[in-house]
């Protein structure tokens, strides 16, 4: 069953097109990373999903229209933004009191248990906490709510690597149970690779890549080509090429579109293994290949 489903989702701000006919489907119990450059439409898409902005096209979240049924939707959805929204004068104990008073699905004992794993004191005010501690407090409050969908928009922005790791470890260990769904955006793509079950790239308001992490491991391969095999490897039509420490690295799609001219040039893993050192590409490598970034000359990334 789909937790989120959009068809022809469109949003404009004057003459600026933020979302340009987006189609997407997120199944229940998945962790989707929505990755894109600044201004690609990530936050606009999240705002539409959360019912914070009107839109054109079809959009259902947990079976509801988020714009017209936002009140009902907020009972089952939690959100962490890239900026702390907790009042700086608020004490930690007051934050617990407040959420307990306004949300019927908040489990205060669970929140207390999460906070017990941190150095956060209940008597501290938000302004006395480091940015990392504020993120921990926010996550503890959200994880203690029995929500079906958690939306994270750059949740670890500005945090050091230790707090970022603790954040995602807590998310997997203490929150995700394969019945909840998580949708997140981040620029720290390498750090969430082990967290995600699915990956989407968005650019200029359009979804340009949509794949499960299992499919990525079976479909894409990166080869650091031995010097004597470069011409042979390039003849197999990689989707991207870059240089690293004087070596040529080629990215291949092992399951090209049968309707394309690459169908007659299908390659397999054993063939590539004879040309150099092979590995599964990272999210960052795929992102550069699909977006046609400066790391190499894109030859037409399959999506």
**E strand residue ranges, the chain:** 2-13, 16-27, 31-35, 56-61, 77-80, 149-153, 181-185, 198-203, 206-212, 220-225, 240-244, 247-253, 276-279
What are the residues facing 11 on neighbouring strands?
Answer: 19
DSSP assigned state of 44: H
For 8-61, the pLDDT digits (tens) are: 999 999 999 999 999 999 999 999 999 999 889 999 999 999 999 999 999 999
Report residue 200 as tokens.
Answer: 């989407």
pLDDT band for position 265 (cuts 50, 70, 90): low
Average pLDDT, the chain: 88
Domains along the sequence of the chain with CATH? 2-204 (3.40.50.300), 219-291 (3.30.70)
| DSSP code for 157 | T
| Backbone phi and psi for residue 288, each to the nearest 5 degrees, phi listed first | -65, -40
pTM for this one? 0.86
Average pLDDT over every residue of 188-215: 92
Strand 16-27 with 2-13, pairing = antiparallel
**Mean pLDDT, to the nearest integer, of 203-208?**
94
């Amino acid at each position: 069953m789909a937790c989120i489903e959009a068809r022809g989702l469109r949003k404009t701000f004057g003459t600026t097109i933020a979302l340009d006919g987006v189609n997407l489907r997120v199944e229940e119990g998945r962790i989707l990373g929505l990755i894109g450059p600044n201004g690609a439409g990530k936050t606009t898409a999240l705002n539409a999903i959360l019912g914070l902005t009107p839109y054109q096209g079809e959009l259902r979240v947990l079976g509801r229209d988020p714009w017209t049924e936002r009140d009902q939707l907020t009972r089952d959805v939690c959100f962490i933004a890239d900026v702390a929204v907790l009042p700086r004068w608020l004490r930690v104990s007051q934050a617990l009191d407040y959420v307990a008073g306004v949300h019927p699905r908040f489990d205060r004992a669970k929140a207390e248990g999460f906070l017990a794993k941190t150095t956060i004191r209940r008597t501290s005010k938000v302004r006395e906490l480091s940015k990392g501690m504020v993120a921990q407090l926010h996550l503890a409050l959200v994880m203690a709510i029995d929500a079906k969908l958690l939306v994270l928009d750059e949740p670890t922005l500005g945090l050091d690597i230790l707090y970022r790791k603790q954040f995602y470890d807590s998310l997997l260990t203490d929150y995700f149970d394969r019945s909840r769904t998580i949708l997140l955006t981040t620029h720290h793509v390498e750090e969430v690779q082990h967290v995600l079950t699915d990956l989407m790239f968005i650019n200029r308001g359009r979804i340009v890549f949509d794949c499960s992490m299992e499919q990525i491991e079976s479909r894409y391969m990166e080869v650091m080509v031995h010097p004597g095999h470069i011409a042979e490897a390039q003849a197999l039509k990689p989707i991207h090429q870059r240089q690293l420490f004087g070596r040529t690295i080629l990215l291949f799609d092992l399951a090209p579109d049968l309707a394309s001219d690459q169908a007659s040039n299908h390659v397999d893993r054993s063939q590539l293994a004879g040309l150099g050192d092979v590995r599964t590409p990272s999210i960052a490598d795929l992102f550069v290949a699909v977006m046609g970034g400066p790391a190499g000359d894109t030859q037409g990334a399959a999506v």
